[in-house]
Amino acid sequence: MVIQRIFRAVIMGPPGSGKGTVSGRIVKRFGLTHLSSGDLLRANIKAQTELGLLMKSCIDQGQLVPDDVISRLILTEMRSIEQSSWLLDGFPRTVAQAETLDGVCSVDTVINMDVPFQTIKQRLTSRWLHLPSGRVYNIDFNPPKIYGLDDVTGEPLIQRDDDTPETITRRLKSYENQTQPVLEYYRSKGMLETFSGTETNKIWPHIQAFLSKKLFHQNEKVVGKA
């Protein structure tokens, strides 16, 4: 699909909700540029940039990276793709970050993946990661072509130390406390579209249909103006 106007979307969902898998499908199907805060954070830490060193210091001390630091990281990257349609993943995570984003550009829609926490707990114990790229696999529904190896590089996959039931419960609760106000913020603006389910492959067709309709409708308006 060729998008005739700039389209900007945010995707939200707890860790293990299938957000990464769906993001990849959205990028492939609709041609959006994927902007992941996690990928940017890892890249900046690896390159030892000023922001990367600052974020690593926060993480090493067990502190949350301040809103203004994360916002600077994302907004700097956004300048390089300001004429592109994009999908923002992992940002904003707080209302302050959402307000900062609003001050810079208009977001067309916010996709919220609502997956039961019990499903996520079961799912994460089957999750494997290619650490250098951040690619995520799941033995149950998104397995690698060769067990234990990354599809792209053939390098070994690892299982995260914090993918334990106790840690997962804590992370999900933290996500809920931090992100619920952001969901309410976008809901109040009429921008939030929630997709509920327990299986990514069953949620995806609904997200695809929603985006197809939204993009087609907006393209019609652009053509009508011409």
Residue 25 annotated in active site: no
135 is catalytic: no
Q: In this structure, is residue 129 part of a structural domain?
A: no
Has 93 been annotated as catalytic? Answer: yes
Whole-number pLDDT of residue 224: 45
Does 137 fall in a domain?
A: no
What is the spatial distance between Cα 77 and Cα 129, in angstroms, rounded to a whole number? Answer: 25
Q: Rounded CA gap, 96 and 101, in Å? A: 9
* Residue 92, domain member (yes or no): yes
Burial class of residue 98 (count of CB atoms within 10 Å of its CB; 0-12, 13-18, 19+): buried
pTM confidence score? 0.79
Catalytic residue, from 19, 56, 72, 221: name it.
Answer: 19
Helix or strand holding residue 169 (H, E): helix 165-188
Catalytic residue (choose from 25, 29, 121, 171)? 171
- Condensed to tens digits (0 to 9), the pLDDT of residues 187-201 reads 999 999 999 999 999
30: in domain = yes
In a domain, 21, yes or no: yes
**Catalytic: 123?**
no
Q: Say what the pLDDT of residue 108 is.
A: 94
Query: Which position among 160, 173, 189, 225 bears the catalytic label?
Result: 160
97 domain-assigned: yes
Residue 69 lies in a domain: yes
Residue 131 domain-assigned? no
pLDDT of 2 over the 90 cut: no
11-44 pLDDT, tens digit per residue, is 999 988 989 899 999 999 999 999 998 888 888 8
Between 125 and 41, the higher pLDDT residue: 41
Query: What integer pLDDT is reported at residue 206 of this predicted model?
Result: 97
Higher-confidence residue: 136 or 218?
Answer: 136
Count of structural domains within the chain: 1
What percent of the chain shows pLDDT beyond 70? 93
CATH number, domain of 16, equals 3.40.50.300
Instruction: Give the domain extent around 195.
Output: 8-116+179-224
